[in-house]
Amino acid sequence: MWLAIVLTAGGCYLLKLAGLSVPIAVLERPVVQRIADLLPVALLTALIGVQVFASGSQLVVDARLAGLAAATVALLLRAPFIVVVFVAAATAAVVRLL
């Protein structure tokens, strides 16, 4: 277990450092610009999908979806980050109690 932890930590650091160290010339290419703009969008939204619907290797609809819906409403009302997170958690918790 410790070996996996150390390799994960070392690998993660090198991945981060590599991202900050790519030559500027590479970054000035429009294709790289577009891809770098779109990647966080694709990865963050995929993470949302998996966090909300995945249960192991199954897709399920449960209280998490209610939490996400509540978070969406909070964002539409321009609520600050912490409120959005709290609303999502509280909604899911309440739905589970019902």
Partner 1 sequence: MTTAPPPEPALSPNDRSAIIRDGIAVGVATGVYGLSFGAISVAAGLTVLQTCALSILAFTGATQFALVGVVASGGAPMSGMVTGLLLGTRNTLYGLRVAPLLDWRGWRRAAAAHFLIDETTAMSVNRATRAAARIGFLSTGLAVFALWNLATLAGAIAGESLGDPRIYGLDAAVAGAFLALAWPRLKSRRNQLVAVLAVALALSLVPVTAAGVPVLAAAVIALLMGLVPDSSDTDEIRADELPAAERSDGGERG
Q: Which of residues 30-49 bind partner 1 (CB under 8 A)?
A: 30-49
Total number of residues binding partner 1 (CB under 8 A)?
A: 77
Contact by Cβ (8 Å): 66, 92: yes
Q: From the CB of 23, what's the least distance to partner 1, in Å?
A: 10
Task: Compose the 66-95 pattern: x for residues touching partner 1 by CB under 8 A, - for all others.
Answer: xxx-xxx--x--x-xxx-xxxxxxxxxxx-
Position 13 contacts partner 1 (CB under 8 A): yes
